[in-house]
Amino acid sequence: MTTRPTRADLEAARDAVIDDLLPDPLRLLVVGINPGLWTGATGAHFARPGNRFYPALARAGITDRLVDPSAGYRASDLRHLRDIGLGVTNLAPRTTARADELTDAELRAGAGRLVSTVLRHRPGAVAVAGITAYRTAFGERRARQGRQARWPGTYPEDTQAVLDATPLFVVPNPSGLNAHATVDSLAAAYREAADAAGMARFAAVR
């Protein structure tokens, strides 16, 4: 797609399933709640105008540029995201207009899917974007934002060893609906996870 999606494009994107972005090597895996309609229409994660994900990445020096995916990824931007090892997946795979259209069961299923993704791709660190969704998905009602002391749940020994070696963060949701976060506060949270993942630090882009 070379232009922004129309209203008809957005409506047609309901309940679509979008491919994860999983470069190799995978340094930082960001976990959204689920794809929005704009992502469904463009195939680009966090694509809706007003979402602060890419501005926060640029402000944190995680990317060396401000990526604008509102009409889909430019080839050079997608290549850059892959080169730096930034991955994106979601707790729930289907697209909706709002995250509150998801069921708790979909989010809980996402926890197991995330663990499977970590086992397959071995990211340097994982950052779940959205404390409420994280609490529901993992059954951790008292969880706070920031680095988690452990991965919730009980797993076989070999699985537990991989999870123990993978720093887990809960970071703020970058949606414009999250009035508690700013680009600067998002950047600080994302930078902490990126540092744990061993990612390079570029000059901040404002």
**202 domain residue, yes or no:** no
The pLDDT of residue 76: 98
Model pTM score: 0.96
**203 domain residue, yes or no:** no
Q: Is 9 exposed, middle or buried (0-12, 13-18, 19+ CB in 10 A)?
A: middle
pLDDT band for position 142 (cuts 50, 70, 90)? very high
Measured at the alpha carbon of residue 186, what is the angle toward residues 130 and 126, in degrees to the nearest 5?
55
Among 196, 63, 190, which residue's Cα sits nearest to residue 125? 196
Instruction: Encode pLDDT of 40-58 as tens digits.
Output: 999 999 999 999 999 999 9
pLDDT band for position 206 (cuts 50, 70, 90)? confident
Q: Does pLDDT of 2 surpass 80?
A: no
Measured between alpha carbons, how far is 36 from 43 in angstroms, rounded to an integer? 10
**206 domain residue, yes or no:** no
**20 domain residue, yes or no:** yes
Residue with the bigger pLDDT between 98 and 203: it is 203
| Beta strands at 125-129 and 86-90: parallel, antiparallel or unpaired | unpaired
**52 domain residue, yes or no:** yes
**1 domain residue, yes or no:** no
Work out the average pLDDT over 94-118: 95
**2 domain residue, yes or no:** no
**137 domain residue, yes or no:** yes
Measured between alpha carbons, how far is 126 from 169 in angstroms, rounded to an integer? 6
> Which CATH number do you get for residue 56?
3.40.470.10
> What's the structural domain count of the chain?
1
For residue 180, the one-letter residue type is H
Measured between alpha carbons, how far is 73 from 68 in angstroms, rounded to an integer? 7
Residue 109: which domain range?
7-196
Q: Radius of gyration over alpha carbons of the chain, in Å?
A: 16
